[in-house]
Amino acid sequence: MIRELPLTIDPVAARRWAARAHAPSPWLHEEVARRMAERLEVIRLPVRRWAHWEPARGGLAGHDLVAAHYPRAQAFRVSAPAVDTPSTVQNQAWWQRWGRARAPRATVTAPPEGAMQLVWANMLAHQVADPAALLADWQRALAVDGFVMFSCLGPDTLRELRALYAAAGWPPPAQDFTDMHDWGDQLAAAGFTEPVMDMERLTLTYDTPARLLAELRELGRNQHPARYDALRTPVWRERLEQALDQHLRPAGGGPLRLTFEVIYGHALKAAPHHVVAPQTAVSLQDMRQQLRQRHVHESSKHS
C-alpha cells in the first residue's frame, strides 16, 4: 500500500505560504529550472499547449526557457486565486518585450481539462500538503500522451541543518522531504506511465550565517507540524548564527556549506483503460480523447 506523501506538512502552513506573493523567484529555483529545461532537448513529443504550475514560485526565467523551446505553443500559467503572480512580461528585458511575437499566454486557476501536452512544475511538489491531489490535477490537465516534468527537494536536503537542530534539542527546521522512489510510486498510483526519476545533490556555500538564513527564507518556510510555534528572540537568533558558524563551516576554514537534494521526475499520461463489463461507463472527455488519438494514428499510417 502506497503511503500518503509527504508525511510532515502542516496544511495550514502550506496554504499560508502559497497565498504569499513570490517575487523575485529564488536563485536556486531558477537554476533548477535551467537544468530541467535542458532535458527538454531529448523529448520529441509535440507540444501545442503547456501549463506551468505556480510560475512565480517555480521560476519566471525558467518559464521563459520553456516558452523559448516551444515558441509556437500556447502557455497557461496556473496559479491559486490568492497568489499574486507577477507578470512575466514585466520581468523581461525591453528587447524581449519588443521582439517578435510569441504564442499567447494566459493565467488561470485551472487549465482546460485534457488539453495540455506538457505540465511543467518546478520546485513545487515538496511544498504541498496533498501531493495526491496535485498529481490528480496534472492528470486532468494533460491530454493522452502528454507528459509532466517536475522537480522538488529530496530527503537529504538541509541534512547539516537538521543534525544541528537535533543536537541542540530544537524542533525540526523543515518538513520531511519525499524520496524519489516514493514519488515514482505516487506517479504510478495516480495513473501516469513510464515514470523516470533522477536526483542530484547540490552543495551551496555562504559567507555568513545571516546570508544563509536569508536565502532559506526566500526558498520557503518551515511547514513541519512540530515546528516551534512562537516567535524566537534576538538572543536565540544569535545562538543559531554561532551554531551555524561552528557546525557548517569546514574545519580548515572557508564558507558555510549546506546540502540540497534535487529530484527530477518525468512521466506520461497513457490512454485510459476500461474494464469490460456488462455495463461500462466511459466519460465524454475520455471518449473524445480516444477518438482524437485514433484519428492521429490513422492519419500517420496513410501519410
pLDDT band at residue 106 under the 50/70/90 scheme: low
Query: Domains in the chain, please, with CATH?
Result: 11-270 (3.40.50.150)
**Contact (CB, 8 A) for 106 and 73:** no
CA–CA distance, 199 with 259 (Å, rounded to integer): 13
pLDDT band at residue 115 under the 50/70/90 scheme: very high
The 3-state DSSP composition of the chain as helix, strand, coil percent (nearest 5) reads 40, 20, 40
CA–CA distance, 177 with 166 (Å, rounded to integer): 17
Give the pLDDT confidence of 37-54 residue by residue, as tens digits. 999 999 999 999 999 999
* Of the listed ranges 223-227, 277-281, 284-288, 291-295, the one predicted with least confidence: 291-295
Give the pLDDT confidence of 77-88 residue by residue, as tens digits. 998 764 344 443
